[in-house]
């Protein structure tokens, strides 16, 4: 493997780690604000959602903002959509 290929590989791992941390912090903020977090329709934690959504780059999750009857944010769902090939 060439030096540039190795750099890209490590850069990719760093990017994934940064994305995971940013997503986790964002979801922790929502959770502290009382917003429910769901992963494939089930209650979940910021850590679990950020791990699942950034672990495999060949899977796609859709974010869905859920409001209550007063149009206030009630929850955020992360639903598996498809494998990316």
Considering only residues 84 and 36, tell me which one the structure prediction assigns the higher pLDDT: 36
Q: Summarize pLDDT for 49-84 with one digit per residue, the tens.
A: 999 988 876 778 999 999 999 999 999 999 998 766
pTM of the entire predicted model: 0.77
For the chain, the three-class secondary structure string (H helix, E strand, C coil) is: CCHHHHHHHHHHHHHHHHHHHHHHHHHHHHHHCCCEEEECCEECCHHHHHHHHHHCCCEEEEEEEEECCCCCEEEEEEEEEEECC
């Amino acid at each position: 493997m060439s030096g540039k290929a190795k750099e890209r590989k490590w850069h990719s791992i760093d990017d994934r780690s940064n994305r995971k941390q940013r997503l986790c912090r964002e979801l922790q903020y929502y959770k502290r604000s009382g917003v429910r977090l769901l992963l494939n329709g089930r209650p979940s934690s910021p850590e679990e959602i950020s791990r699942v959504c950034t672990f495999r780059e060949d899977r796609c999750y859709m974010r869905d903002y859920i409001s209550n009857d007063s149009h206030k944010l009630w929850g955020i769902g992360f639903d598996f959509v498809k494998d990316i090939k």
